[in-house]
Amino acid sequence: MSAAEEQVGPGILITFEGGEGAGKTTHITFLAACLRAMGHEVLCLREPGGTSIGEQLREIVLNPGNAAMADEAELLIYEAARAQIVKETIVPALARGAVVLLDRFYDSTIAYQVYGRGLSESFVRQANAFACQGVHPCRTILLTSEASVEEGLFRATHHGDADRLEQAGTDFHARVNNGFMRIAAENPERVRVVSSAGPKDETARLVFFELKDIFGWGEDSNVWASDFYEPILRRNTDEKATISLEG
Ligand code: TMP
């Protein structure tokens, strides 16, 4: 059974993954604006977080004051936040046919807790399966900035203080980035690597290309037009944008 067939309900779950500073938020916001303009109900969520309980767990797991946190406790907090968002928000959204754009999901746990922290892969996979309750993304966009680990960390942290994970050191983050590339190599059908090194509209077009089979964007769709991206990039915070779009 393919990941798409395991999907809960008629909705579509797309996850975005990547190391620190890869630009996930920008492209999730942009894709959401486009999909809403096409008439989809779109939910943008993040892990850990996305629910009241999940946001409280996020606060604990990312708090730099919790430097003494055991790697095992860290894993279980991420899984607890995941179990909550899956049951409370993702399953109902997929059941009513929404598109869910999720900033990080179980691949992050493999990259950070297995490759980064060195926890048992088989145990983390079981914990992921328990927390996910049968929910799988039908596609995963792995954004890679092609910048150095140091540059990625700088981009992620220069607006404020670094969180506990961002403070984990460059060797840790290099292992995480390597982990993501291995996950992509092992799951070529689901995980699509997209470079965010170029201009934003170019990256957006690459993201659209990797989703075209899911949304049925054929060669004649206006999503490929050279003037498609600019107005939406300009208006991507305006959810009521009425742009002439076709499927
Ligand atoms: P972010 O959403 O701002 O990227 O912050 C989340 C941080 O938590 C980021 O450093 C990645 C990390 N993380 C894990 O270590 N394991 C996980 O399972 C998830 C979802 C995130």
pLDDT in tens, 166-216: 888 899 999 999 999 999 999 999 999 999 999 988 999 999 999 999 999
Q: Cα(202) to centroid of ligand 1, in Å? A: 26
Q: What pTM value is reported for the model?
A: 0.91
Please give the pLDDT value at position 241. 41
In angstroms, the CA 14 to CA 19 distance is 17
243: which residues sit within 8 A by CB, 6+ positions away?
Answer: 37, 231, 232, 235
In angstroms, the CA 205 to CA 175 distance is 29
CA-79 nearest atom, ligand 1:
18
Q: Cα(217) to centroid of ligand 1, in Å? A: 31
In angstroms, the CA 85 to CA 78 distance is 11
Alpha carbon of residue 23 to chain centroid:
10
Q: Is the CB of 48 under 6 A from ligand 1?
A: yes
E strand segments, 11-146 = 12-17, 42-46, 99-103, 139-144
Nearest CA among 246, 242, 243, 199 for reference residue 221: 246
How deeply is 216 buried, as exposed, middle or buried, from its count of CB atoms within 10 A (0-12, 13-18, 19+)? Answer: exposed
Question: Of the residues 108, 130, 132, 163, which should be mutated to test ligand 1's pocket, given the most ligand atoms within 8 Å of the CB?
Answer: 108
Q: Cα(17) to centroid of ligand 1, in Å? A: 10
Which tens digit of pLDDT belongs to each residue from 223-238? 888 788 777 777 654 5
The percent of residues in the chain predicted with pLDDT above 90, rounded, is: 70
Residue 183: strand, helix, or coil:
helix
Q: Is the CB of 179 under 6 A from ligand 1?
A: no
CA-103 nearest atom, ligand 1:
2
